[in-house]
Structure 1
């Protein structure tokens, strides 16, 4: 069963463009989109083989003759506009190359027209500016998200009984066991509570305090420095522990232990020193020691159940 062809639906945006193309095609398709019915080279009085210096010299010579400030004749003004347009096209290597291609291939009307409009009316925003703007926007959202999560987490912690008890204990410790409830001390008490609250605001796992150094934009700017520092650190590590076979320092042994256990840096800092020292002495970066430690932890977990 043969179906009738579907009707063609013209988009409103495409209609002006097609009309312009049809109008230009009735004139001289190759050059009309650049210098109307004229030839850009003829307007400047140069040949197609002229170099950039000759084109520039011809333009300045004609501008002295037809510039509105030099020649008040209205026809000279119109001619100068055409000359200036021709110079704008031919002075740039990219647009001149497109114009030369249009002259050599007059049958490719649609292709030449699309190149012309893309070159002169296309979006010309610098990609670097777009990248900087994108990084700023993402960094702003990142900081806002981190700040919101941190403030919500701190607010929840402050509502817990453990936090309130710790706050009271710290206040008693500062006041020597005496609490003054006089009205004259009301402002001072608020200041003490605020100071104590700031002291008790610990880093919360999963909702760390926002930091400018952790923002995406700052990290991108510091990327060359970060890569250089990482390469230098890797080289020193290889020389010290692979070539010279030195014993691991406490800091490097802690790093190896933390990496073997998969513990983030912020959680590692919150572990008490005795536990850290015990973990480091176990040399968990060695596979056999790590497997033994994991087996012990599993047994301990089953025993507690």
Structure 2
């Protein structure tokens, strides 16, 4: 009895409910609700739950990224361009002959594919969404490093404003590409996966300038509309819209 009273009165919320019970003894249902609310409510630290949830999400992220990366490497082995590049590296460094020695048929093929996959992992730069996973990109590490990233972000913008807003310096190549990426609305990973020839074309057209980018954007939209107009599938779709169109529900008397 004493232990029960102690457990009840040491908690401020339970003590408030107990005082309310003494002041309003006729409100039975409310007292039952308060009693079972305290008995059934889980006594788990919310911070622990949040921490475990973040840890689980981070592990799933990292596993998913590695699965995507391995799938991308396995696909590149089947692409003639990258397979040829990896084969040339293996032949030039004498790895292909030694790796396949003594093997025949499918075993030799599997051994060769494994060697080419390893060369692609270590020698070929895979960019974009299928790049090699980094532990710094998982949710847990990002939360831990969030203050540092915020400080770096603020310092970078202050430096940008000082250089190009106050001192009126000319943009360098990296700054121009940054503005091009912002105009295109692409993420850093997506823009990084674009080949260098296309980036040079962006610079040649001076797409870091708003006016010239708007002209380029309008030209791309017009070219897309032209391709759609010339597409046989698009023509069939337009004919279908003119003749039948999407299904409609009508009500008759």
Q: TM-score over 0.5 for the alignment?
A: yes
CA RMSD of aligned residues (A): 3.5
Q: CA deviation at 1:289?
A: 1.5
Distance in 2 between the 1:281 and 1:246 partners?
20
Task: Spell out, residue by residue over 1:170-205, the C-alpha distance to the aligned partner (whole angstroms, 9 max, x if none).
Answer: 233334xx9577659x9xx97975653433454254
| Residue 158 to residue 200, structure 1, CA distance change in 2 (3 Å) | farther
Q: Does 1:219 align with 2:138?
A: no
Distance in 1 between the 2:20 and 2:218 partners?
75
Unaligned runs of at least 5 residues, structure 1: 1-81
For these two proteins, the number of residue pairs brought into alignment is 219
Relative contact order higher in (CA < 8 Å, ≥ 6 apart): 2
> Is the CA contact 2:66–2:132 (under 8 Å) kept in the aligned structure 1?
yes
The corresponding residue for 1:137 is 56
The corresponding residue for 1:210 is 133
Match of 1:242 among 151, 165, 172: 165
Q: CA deviation at 1:261?
A: 2.5
Distance in 1 between the 2:6 and 2:97 partners?
86
| Residue 285 to residue 236, structure 1, CA distance change in 2 (3 Å) | same
Distance in 1 between the 2:79 and 2:195 partners?
23
The corresponding residue for 1:104 is 23
| Residue 89 to residue 290, structure 1, CA distance change in 2 (3 Å) | same
Unaligned runs of at least 5 residues, structure 2: 231-253
Counterparts in 2 of 1:131-170, with a 5 A limit? 131-170=50-89
| Residue 88 to residue 138, structure 1, CA distance change in 2 (3 Å) | same
Q: TM-score, normalised by structure 1?
A: 0.59
Task: Spell out, residue by residue over 1:206-259, the C-alpha distance to the aligned partner (whole angstroms, 9 max, x if none).
Answer: 433222222223223322322232222222222332233222233222211222
Distance in 1 between the 2:7 and 2:218 partners?
77
Q: CA deviation at 1:101?
A: 0.8
| Residue 182 to residue 211, structure 1, CA distance change in 2 (3 Å) | closer
| Residue 83 to residue 150, structure 1, CA distance change in 2 (3 Å) | same
Counterparts in 2 of 1:20-99, with a 5 A limit? 82-99=1-18
